[in-house]
């Protein structure tokens, strides 16, 4: 199963994301509210989630305060994001718990973000970047999530929730 460790924004923060303008742009698909999360660590294909659950339960993790914004940005031409600050220590704690060789190495440095739109090949989200947004939320849990691809985008199922603090 395809797994990742994430945090879910609060309802108030999700409301701030939902309030962003979503103009119709050819080739751009806006993500659904049920998909809005911040990935702390992507694990990829994992046969058995039990070792991940055990590692997360043993991890030294502290609550955090996350901040969305101040403006939407892009990853390349095809992904529109909201930057999320304040989660570096939490992501580092997750990384420390999920070290190789038992778990795959992180692919690149942690860059907190919430994905709000994706463009098909040949389209671009760059004209949509720069919209102001500001919201914060307390993080008192991390979740292990199973991702299932589908025709309308990925659906997510919480496999385990680790309360922190």
- pLDDT tens column, 106-150: 888 999 999 999 999 999 999 999 999 999 999 999 999 999 988
User: 146 lies in which domain range?
Assistant: 2-163
Q: Residue 151: pLDDT band by 50, 70, 90 thresholds?
A: confident
Read off the CATH number of the domain in which 71 is found. Answer: 3.90.1140.10
Per-residue model confidence as pLDDT tens digits over 73-104: 999 999 999 999 999 999 999 999 999 888 88
Q: Are 90 and 117 in contact (CB under 8 A)?
A: no
Please state the pTM of the whole predicted model. Answer: 0.94
Q: Which of 29, 12, 117 is nearest to 73 (CA)?
A: 117
Q: Of all helices (H) and strands (E), which one includes residue 26?
A: none
CA separation for the pair 125, 31 (Å, rounded): 13
Structural domains of the chain, count: 1
Q: What pLDDT score was predicted for residue 94?
A: 97
Please work out, in degrees rounded to the nearest 5, the angle formed at the alpha carbon of residue 99 by the alpha carbons of 163 and 4. 50
């Amino acid at each position: 199963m395809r797994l990742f460790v994430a945090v879910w924004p609060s309802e108030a923060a999700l409301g701030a994301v939902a309030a962003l303008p979503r103009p119709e742009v050819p080739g751009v698909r806006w993500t659904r509210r049920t998909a809005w999360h911040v990935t702390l660590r992507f694990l990829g294909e994992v046969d058995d989630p039990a070792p991940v659950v055990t590692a997360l339960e043993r991890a030294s993790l502290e609550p955090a305060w996350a901040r969305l914004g101040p403006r939407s940005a892009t990853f390349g031409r095809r992904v529109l994001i909201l930057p999320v600050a304040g989660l570096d220590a939490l992501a580092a704690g997750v990384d420390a718990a999920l070290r190789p060789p038992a778990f795959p190495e992180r692919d690149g440095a942690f860059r907190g973000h919430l994905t709000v739109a994706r463009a098909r090949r040949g389209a671009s989200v760059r004209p949509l970047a720069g919209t102001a947004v500001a919201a914060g939320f307390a993080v008192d849990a991390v979740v292990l999530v199973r991702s299932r691809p589908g025709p309308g985008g990925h659906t997510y199922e919480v496999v385990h929730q680790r309360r922190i603090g």
